[in-house]
Amino acid sequence: MTERDSEIEFDFFEEPATTEAERPDRAPRTRRPRRPPGPPSGLTPLLRLIGLISLAILVVVLLVFWISSCRGEAKKDTYSNYMGDVDQVANQSERIGASLNTAITKPDITKTQLVQTLDGLAQQQQQLVDSAENISEPGPLRNEQQRMVDALQFRVSGLRGLRDGFSAQTKNANQAGQLLAAQARRLVTSDVVWDDQFRDPAMQELKDQDIQGVQVPDSNFLQNPDLATSTAMETVWQRVSGGGGGTTTSPGPHGHNLVSVKVLGGAELSKDQLNEIVATTDLGFQVTFENSGDSTETGVRVTLTIQKSPEPIVRRQTVDLTEPGEQQTVTFRNITNVPFVRRTTLQVDIDKVPGETNLSNNTAEYPVIFSYPGG
User: What pTM did the predictor assign?
Assistant: 0.68
Pick from 252, 218, 257, 211: which is nearest to 235 by CA?
252
pLDDT of residue 8: 47
CA distance linking residue 190 with residue 129, whole number of Å: 13
How would you write the chain as a 3-class SS string?
A: CCHHHHHCCCHHHCCCCCCCCCCCCCCCCCCCCCCCCCCCCCCHHHHHHHHHHHHHHHHHHHHHHHHHHHHHHHHHHHHHHHHHHHHHHHHHHHHHHHHHHHHHHCCCCCHHHHHHHHHHHHHHHHHHHHHHHCCCCCHHHHHHHHHHHHHHHHHHHHHHHHHHHHHCCCCCHHHHHHHHHHHHHHHHHHHHHHHHHHHHHHHHHHHHCCCCCCCCCCCCCCCCHHHHCHHHHHHHHHHHHCCCCCCCCCCCCCCEEEEEEEECCCCECCCCCCEEEECCCCCCEEEEEEECCCCCEEEEEEEEEECCCCCCEEEEEEEEEECCCCEEEEEECCCCCCCECCEEEEEEEECCCCCCCCCCCCEEEEEEEEECCCC
The answer to whether 316 and 287 have CB atoms below 8 angstroms apart is: no
**Degrees, nearest 5: CA angle 262-265-270:** 25
Q: Where are the domains of the chain?
A: 66-241, 256-371
pLDDT of residue 164: 96
The DSSP bridge partners found for residue 340 are 370
pLDDT of residue 23: 52
pLDDT of residue 246: 42
The answer to whether 327 and 259 have CB atoms below 8 angstroms apart is: yes
pLDDT of residue 2: 46
Kind of pairing between the strands at 327-332 and 313-322: unpaired
pLDDT of residue 241: 85
CA distance linking residue 184 with residue 123, whole number of Å: 17
Which pLDDT tens digits describe the chain residue by residue (375 residues)?
444 454 444 444 444 554 444 555 555 565 665 655 555 556 777 777 777 787 777 777 666 665 555 555 678 999 999 999 999 999 999 999 999 999 998 888 999 999 999 999 999 999 999 999 999 999 999 999 999 999 999 999 999 999 999 998 888 889 999 999 999 999 999 999 999 999 999 999 999 999 999 999 999 999 889 899 999 999 999 889 864 444 456 778 999 999 999 999 999 999 999 999 999 999 999 999 999 999 889 889 999 999 999 999 999 999 999 999 999 999 999 999 999 999 999 999 999 988 889 999 999 999 999 999 876
CATH class of 256-371: mainly beta
pLDDT of residue 93: 97
